[in-house]
Amino acid sequence: MDYKKSNASLSTITRDVNNLCENTGNVYETVAIISKRANQISVEIKEELKRKLEEFSNNNVDNLEEVFENREQIEISKYYERLPKPTLLATQEYIEDKTYFRNPAKIK
């Protein structure tokens, strides 16, 4: 999923718990679903950032080119820092019904 195009807010929003748990009927189950999805999103973003920063991990030669590369690394890192946090992304996905979940205990 493209997290850069998500319409999740950049700051925390107070939400009505009763509206959040309409799908599951249980606040704790809803929180568990959102937290597991947030962990998945976090891992995906970290792997993507790691892949982008590995492009710069060539020989550690101290020269003018390295200073230029460090600027690019800094810009990439700042970009990822400005993205909404994984919990906000996961909550927005849940609200928009983009999160697939199932409870094996309820399936009979």
Rounded distance between C-alpha atoms, residue 27 and residue 73, angstroms: 41
38 Cβ contact list (under 8 Å, min separation 6) = 86, 87, 89, 90, 91
* pLDDT digits 0-9 by tens, 32-83: 999 999 999 999 999 998 888 887 766 555 555 555 557 888 888 888 888 8
CB-CB neighbours of 82 under 10 Å: 9
Domain ranges of the chain: 14-95
Joined together, the tokens standing for residue 85 give 């946090």
Rounded distance between C-alpha atoms, residue 34 and residue 89, angstroms: 9
Lowest mean pLDDT among 2-6, 17-21, 66-70, 99-103: 66-70
